[in-house]
Amino acid sequence: KRKIAVMTSGGDSPGMSGAVRAVVRSAIAMGHEAYCIYEGYEGLVQGGDLIKKMDWEDVRGWLSEGGTLIGTARCAAFRERPGRLAAARNLIVNGINGLIVCGGDGSLTGADLFRSEWPGLLEELVEREELTKEQIEPFQTLNIAGLVGSIDNDMSCTDATIGAYSSLARICQAVDYIDATAASHQRAFVIEVMGRHCGWLAVMSGVSTGADYIFIPEKPPGEGWEKQMCDIIARHRKLGKRKTIVIVAEGAIDRDLKPITSEYVKKVLVDELKLDTRVTCLGHVQRGGTAVAYDRMLATLQGVEAVRAIVNAKTGRPSPMIAITENKITRKPLVEAVRMTKGVAEAIKNKDFDQAMKLRDAEFDE
Ligand code: ATP
């Protein structure tokens, strides 16, 4: 019988609670004990009441919920070794040796670092007389598994992150609302969406709403884009379109890495096309609300797979990140997936946009 803990970390996303439910219930169904670590790594570092044993009914009704019902946080202490020592101690005290982390690339990096420092952390705790040799004896390995929870869909090696499709649905709904008022007044709207270094939400919402023009970080427009955008929009208007929708990802940049702001796009539309233009920044509405069916399904199937990965873990194998590849739940090496994801941001910073796109689409080949 193993004790398996689950936590959510980094930015919240719809479906995280569904993933927690799936982990708790599948752990119990497989004959193990399930624990939740509240408030992300903060709970791991602080321990006490923030680490709770969960029963089947404790997660009842969690499948559809937005956000995360066990809380999330950014935790500076876990980035430092003393924080991770405290975290290791709290796991041992609770008898936990399997940890499932649902979060973004930062959270998964932290999880793998923690695992790689094991059992050194335990030996140090014995030296400091915080734990005894007998206490650490049964905990020589820590198994971890990563679930990717993020609305941005910014992780390499997986087709979808938990929460991305809920956010996409919410954005589309908001653009549909805006469409009606835009068409009534023949207005233009510049709509800013989330995604940081990732243009997935912008591209997919643009495709799904028939936007006139889209700005994303991985593929900045070339010089003279203002004229190209205006020509396209003018053509659409000539064809009888009564509204204009431009979607700007929050991380949109030009080829010199200068941010392309919604306000600047608005100014171009007003100055060049004399369009009555408004800016709508969708903000945190994109993260709220219940999880769409796809995210409930993804969270459930991946949560079960994460527990299986912990239970069947073999020593010496790299920690897995639970992914979805062409509609199949898969396991990918967590470190490689995180490395490729960080590579995208790095490539953008180096103005190597082809490489950014390549890494974004890349699959790790085992
Ligand atoms: P999102 O994509 O929503 O921002 P994220 O998981 O990438 O999610 P971060 O803020 O980068 O969010 O990381 C969440 C937490 O994970 C941090 O507050 C920190 O506690 C831990 N963490 C991140 N990077 C590291 C690291 N290199 N070493 C140890 N811990 C880390």
How would DSSP label each residue in 47-80? -GGGEEEE-GGGGTT-SS-SS-TT-----SGGGS
Length of the chain counted residue by residue: 366
Q: What percent of the chain has pLDDT over 70?
A: 99
Residue 240 has pLDDT above 80, yes or no: yes
> What pLDDT digit, counting tens, does each position of 327-349 carry?
999 999 999 999 999 999 999 99
State the complex-level ipTM.
Answer: 0.95
> What pLDDT digit, counting tens, does each position of 2-36 carry?
999 999 999 999 999 999 999 999 999 999 999 99
Give residue 11 CA to ligand 1 midpoint distance, Å. 9
Probe ligand 1: pick from 7, 9, 155, max atoms within 8 Å of CB? 9
Please give the annotated binding residues for Mg(2+), written as ranges. 105
Residue 102 has pLDDT above 90, yes or no: yes
Average the pLDDT over 176-201 and give the result: 94
Q: Atom 2 of ligand 1 has which residue's CA nearest to it?
A: 104
User: Within 10 A of 19 (CB to CB), how many other CB atoms are there?
Assistant: 34
Give residue 106 CA to ligand 1 midpoint distance, Å. 3
Q: What percent of the chain has pLDDT over 90?
A: 93
Is 55 an annotated catalytic residue?
no
Q: Atom 24 of ligand 1 has which residue's CA nearest to it?
A: 106
Pocket of ligand 1 (CB under 6 A): 9-11, 41, 74-75, 78-79, 103-107, 109-110, 113, 150
pTM metric for this prediction? 0.95
Give the whole-angstrom CA distance, residue 259 versus residue 215.
10
Ligand 1 atom at shortest distance from the alpha carbon of 74: 18
Q: Atom 3 of ligand 1 has which residue's CA nearest to it?
A: 11
Ligand 1 atom at shortest distance from the alpha carbon of 13: 3
Q: Residue 142 — very low, low, confident or very high, per pLDDT cuts 50/70/90?
A: very high
Give the per-residue pLDDT at 359. 85
Residue 362 has pLDDT above 80, yes or no: no
Average the pLDDT over 150-161 and give the result: 95
Instruction: Return all residues near 31 (Cβ < 8 A) that are at least 6 apart.
Output: 1
For 163, the token pair is: 């929460």
Chain-centroid distance, C-alpha 80: 23
> What pLDDT digit, counting tens, does each position of 241-271 carry?
999 999 999 999 999 999 999 999 999 999 9
